[in-house]
Structure 1
Amino acid sequence: MGTTVEGSPNSFLCTEREYGDFVLEFEVKVDPVLNSGVQIRSHRHDAERVVRFSDGKQVRNWKIPAGRFHGYQVEIANNKDGSSGGIYDEARRGWLKDPAKDPVASKAFKDNEWNLYRVEAVGDRLRTWVNGVPVVEVIDSWDLSGYIGLQVHSFKGEKPAQVRWRNIRIQDLGRHTWKRVWDGSTMTGWTPRGGGSWKIEEGALHGASVAGDTRVGYLVSDESFKDLTLRWKTKITKGNSGLFIRSEPKTLAAYEVEIDAQKRMGGFWETGGRNWVTGPEDNAGAAANDWNDLTAHLHGHRIV
């Protein structure tokens, strides 16, 4: 049981070890005046850190104070609020998915009763249920492992408020880890095709067009991939480029993650098919003439 203390900031009771992939179940009962949550794959650091992310409108640099516990939070709120089971990025990006406007999921939590939560974290896929009702699914690869923490939220009221947990259990499924697909120093495992030129400079792959050569240039991996989540940094000063995924070996027809200095950075284009599949209309979420972090998730028929 956690009890609020007036003047205290958000506080957490944390596991002593990190977890990666897992199924977590617990029951929780909270005073309706209090908001709470369970942190998953979360961290704290001894020194202040600055993280950079896009909110879709601008690129932001966000300070995380030293000692601040931060990361994914599975929300616990009253029935009127409707956010229970949503996923909030504590002390970082804010809401990743809030179910408050979902007519079914927002009503799954019962005030003044024990509520059963189920949380599945496998790879970059996070899913939640409250009392057997599916609430949210989030695809996000920022953290693949971390600590679990029970939250007592900061609170001001006439008397202390409480949140209670019981029957906390976890099925540990191991963890996903990142694998390098480029070694950072050679062209080993990659084959140039078509036009253009390629070189390695200051730990980065540089691709450039060649004057008079109208052919499109590609650098193609020797290894084939099917389902994957891919992360990379890219910088483009002018023109248009892209990263092809699930390419057809001969024609290289594929899903292309757009890399463009002017517009649609991060959008999906189907080369040799439907053209634009999805993507932003502008580059408000990209840093001009700077390195940008991109992530592509392709699992089965799902593309994010």
Structure 2
Amino acid sequence: MVALHVRGVRRSVRSIAAHLADDGMVCGHLSSVTAVHFAVCGDERWVDAAGDAVSADEPRRCTVLRDRHGPSVRLVLRRWAEPRYVQSSITPASRLALENARLRAAARVRLADLRASQRRIVEATDLERRRIERDLHDGAQQRLVAVTMLLSSPATTSGGLAGASAAVTAALAALRELSHDALSAVLGAEGLEAAIEDLAARVPLSVDVRLPAAEPQLPLTVQTAAYSAVAAAIDNLLAHGYTDQAGVSAVVNDQELRVTVFTGGPIGGCVSDWQLADVADHVGALSGSLRLTETPATGITMSVTLPCGS
């Protein structure tokens, strides 16, 4: 009886694998398996064969296939199917077909992520351009127009010239503030360590900065992405009031820069509240990675890895 059941399950899995190989339906009316889910490597998401997200929570009845990276394929079973029989019935050919289907699903996910990232980059660029245009129009431009009108008036006196000088000074200050908002001026002049220390000194948090004493020469694009990630992490900590202290560390190993922002202890927040889409897009555009974790003992940790080799 058991042998008949195993043979039936084997046929079911073989049929599903064949359907997956043809990009067809993954479950049939008489199948022991009702659905097939695939893990996205390097991610915590699970998707179906079309690359659409499914719940990361394990169904009540399923069996999980693993590879050297961890869980890779999840077979959702009918109530009468026995997980150990399903596992034993998977032939090398079926496993290969399932792995190929997983790779196709992962490729669809990465393509969808890339398109979403491109859309966000375009939207963020448009918003930033409009913000800069508005700030220039409402700030420095208005002051400079007033100076022009004042200097062109025949009735301008020495007092008027003093007023014009003050207006020009205010306009220059507004332009400096605008450029500082776009990117830390210290970053370009003194490097990543000085820029992060300058950032830490300007926020109402106690930030412990632990950066290499002898910082290697890093591409400006890498330094900019790392600085933006640290600034975004600190902004999230401030926005949600999680803690009054944080730490920043960085190390360069194997042609990679690894930057970590951590709270160093339990906090009352949740990483799902963090807004990091723009940072993830920036880091991803440089073939880097961003990881956000939370544990009761250590709190929230954001790790960013950026390639910096030639």
TM-score where L is the length of structure 2: 0.27
Q: Relative contact order, CA 8 A, sep 6+: which one is greater?
A: 1
Structure of higher CA gyration radius: 2
TM-score where L is the length of structure 1: 0.28
